Chains A and B, each alone.
Chain A
Amino acid sequence: MARLWPVLKSRISYLAAAALLLMFALMAIFGPMLYPHGIPQGSQFYAPPSWRYPLGTDYAGASVLAEIIVGSRYVLFVAALAACFTMAIGVIVGLASGYVGGLTDTVLMRVTDFILTIPTYPLLIVIAAVVKISGPIPMAILLSINGWGGMARAVRSMVLSLKRRDFVEAARSLELGNGHIVGRQILPLIMPYVIMHLILAVTSSIYGEVGLFFLGLVPIQGTNWGVMLNFAFSASGAIYVPSSVFYLMAPVGAIVLVQIGSVTFTKALDEVFNPQISAL
C-alpha cells in the first residue's frame, strides 16, 4: 500500500482513475441518501441539462442524474459481490488443483475446462429464464457462475511453480503443515494478482448484470443502469426519440467511465506489484 501513492502520483491518468473509482464507490454508498424523498420529478419530458437537472430529465420528467446516482448502488454492490465470489471460487479451485495435484487436479481442471467452454451470456440468460432471480445475492451468484475458470487456471499454474521453490520445500521439511504452507507461504504471493483481477472482475460482472437487466430477464426492483437501458428500448421508446439523448447516454457513459477507471487503475496496480514491468 505504501508503494501505491508514488505510482499514482507518477502519472496524472493514474490519479484520475483512482479518483474516478473512488467517486463511484462514494456514489454507491452515499448517493441514495442525497434523495430521501425519491427521485426529483420535473414537469418537462426529456428536458435538456439545467442547474436543477444536470443531465436533463427522462421520459417521465425524472432527473436523469438522480437515477444514475440512485441506480449505482445496486449495480456496483452486486458487481463487487459477484467479483468477490468469482475470485474466491477461482482461488480455492486453483489452490486445491495446483497444491494437491493428482486426481483432484484432473477432476477440477476438467470441470474448469467445461465451465470455460460454455458461452457466458447464453448460460446466464438461460439460467435467469428458469430460476427466479431476486435480490442481490442470488444475482451475484449467477454472475459468478462461470467467470472463475480463468482465475482457477492462472492460480493453478502459479501454485505449480511456487510449489517447487526453495522456501516452500524448506517449510515442508520443517513440517509446518499444509495449512501454513498454503496460507502463509503461497497465498500472499498470489494475492497481488488476485487483487488486480478483482477490479477487472467487477467490470465484467457489471456487463453481465446490466445486460440481463437490459434484456429484461431479471425482475426489476427500483432503478439501475440496466433498467434505464431496458426502459429506453421497451416501455418508453426513448431510443427512437432524438431528444432523449441525455437519458440514453447517461448509463452508457457511467459504464464506460467505470471501465476506463478500472483498466487504468489496474495498470497502476500492476506497476506497484511488478515494478520491473513498468520499466519496459
Chain B
Amino acid sequence: MVRRLGTAVLMIFLVVTFTFFLLRLMPGNPTLIEYHLLLKQGDSPQAALQYVNALYGVNIHSPLFLQYLSYLGDLAHGNLGTSVLYPNTTVLSLVAAALPWTVFSVGLALTVSAIFGILMGTVAGFKRNGLVDTLLTPVATVLSGIPNYLTGTVFLFVFAVVLAWLPQSGAYGVGVRPGFNVPFLGSVFVHAALPVVSYAVTQFGGWYLLMKSSTASTLGQEFIVGARSRGLTSSQVIYRYVMPNSLLPLFTNFVLAIGFMFGGSVFVESIFSYPGLGYLLNQAVSNRDYSTMEGLFLIITVAVIVSNLAADLAYIKLDPRISGEDVL
C-alpha cells in the first residue's frame, strides 16, 4: 500500500519535471522565440526580458536548475502561474472555473454509457446469439473504436444545425441567471445533451463488449452451475450470482475511464465550445498561453494518476479474494 502510494507520488513528480523541461528544452523553446522576436521588433533586451518574464513567469537568463527549483516551490504553494490569454487571472482560478463543467458532462456520460452498456452486455452475454447479441455486438464493436470527435461532429451537424433542436455551443443560455433556479438548470442540461451523448455513444460500445465477455466467463464457473442446480430462477441467478461477479473486473475500467475521459474531453468540448478543461486546453494551445497549458496538462495527468491509485486501492476492498500484495 505504501509502495503503491510512493509510486503515484513519484509519477506526479516525474510529470511535473517532464512538463517543466518540455517547455524549456525543446528545440522550439517558446520563451526564447518570444525573446528573440521582441529583440527583432526593436525592443531593448531589458524590456524584452521583462516582458518574457511577465508572460511566462520565467527568467530566461537564470540557470535552468534554479528556474526548476522556483517552479517546484511555486507548485508546492498551489501557484500555477498567471494566464497570458486572460490577463490578471491565475491559472488555478481558470481551472477551478472549468473543472465543474468537465466533471459534470464527463461524469454524466460515463454513468449513462456504463449503465446501458452493462445492462445490454449482461443480456448479450447471458443469451449468446440471441436478439440483443446479434444486433448490438457488431454495432458496439464499431462504436467502441470511433473517436468521439467524429460522433460530436455528426451530432452537432444533425441536431444543432440541420434540425436545430439543441444549442450549438456554450454551457448555458445567454439570458439565464446562473444559480439554483429551474431555467438555469434546464438550460444546463439542454446545453450538455449533445456533448454528453457524443461521449456516451463512443463509450457504450466498450462497456457493452467488456460486460458481455465478463458475463460469459462468469457463467462458465462452478458456483453458477451450483446455483442453477438448486432450482433458482434465471433472474435470481443473474442478479445474485452473475452480475456481482462479472461487474467486479469492470470496476477498474470505470475508475480508469474517469481519468481518461478528462483527456478525451479536448475534442468534444472544442466542438461544442463547452467551457470545460478540454476547451480551455485547446484555447490555451491555440493562443500560445503556455502557463495555462502547462498547468492544465499537469492537472489532467495528476487526475489520471490519482484515479489509477484509487482504482487499485478500492479493488482490494471490493474483492476479498485479492490481497493487497497481488495488486502492488
Contacts and interface: CB of A to CB of B under 8 A. Distances in A.
Are A and B part of the same complex? yes
A131 B26 contact: yes
A30 interface: no
Nearest to B14: A114
A79 interface: no
Given A129-B285, A131-B27, A117 B297 contact: no
B100 to A, nearest CB: 19
A252 to B, nearest CB: 5
Interface in B136-172: 141-142, 145-147, 149-150, 153-154, 156-157, 161-162, 168
Given A114-B11, A122-B281, A252-B150, A214 B266 contact: no
Interface string A31-58: 0000000000000000000000000000
Contacts, number: 111
Does more than half of chain A's interface fall in helix, strand or loop, or is it mixed?
helix
7 contacts: A122-B300, A122-B301, A130-B28, A215-B285, A233-B271, A245-B162, A259-B145
B146 A119 contact: no
Interface in B287-302: 288, 293-294, 296-297, 300-301
* Interface residue range, chain B: 35 or more
Interface centre among A114, A119, A207, A215 (most CB of B within 10 A): A119
Given A125-B266, A129-B293, A130-B23, A229 B153 contact: yes
Contacts of A210: 147, 149
B260 interface: yes
Given A239-B157, A242-B161, A252-B154, A215 B308 contact: no
A207 B285 contact: no
Contact of B156 (A114, A239, A255): A239
B205 to A, nearest CB: 11
Nearest to A233: B271
Contact of B22 (A127, A215, A256, A259): A127
Given A114-B14, A130-B28, A259-B145, A119 B304 contact: yes
Contacts of A248: 153, 157
B64 to A, nearest CB: 16
B267 A117 contact: no
A113 B150 CA distance: 29
A216 B286 contact: yes
A145 to B, nearest CB: 12
Contacts of B300: 119, 122
A125 B304 contact: no
Contact of A122 (B149, B156, B263, B288): B263
Interface centre among B157, B260, B286, B301 (most CB of A within 10 A): B157
Contacts of B201: none
A117 B11 contact: yes
A207 B28 contact: no
Interface in A103-126: 113-114, 117-123, 125-126
B146 A256 contact: yes
A242 B147 contact: no
B292 to A, nearest CB: 11
Interface string A75-118: 00000000000000000000000000000000000000110011
Given A119-B259, A122-B263, A130-B22, A240 B161 contact: yes
A16 interface: no
A149 interface: no
Interface string B276-289: 00000110011010
B22 A118 contact: no
A112 to B, nearest CB: 12
Interface string A204-223: 00010011001111000000
Nearest to B154: A252
Nearest to A256: B146
Nearest to B284: A129
A176 interface: no
B262 interface: yes
Given A114-B14, A119-B263, A263 B154 contact: no
Contacts of A260: 142
A132 interface: yes
A23 interface: no
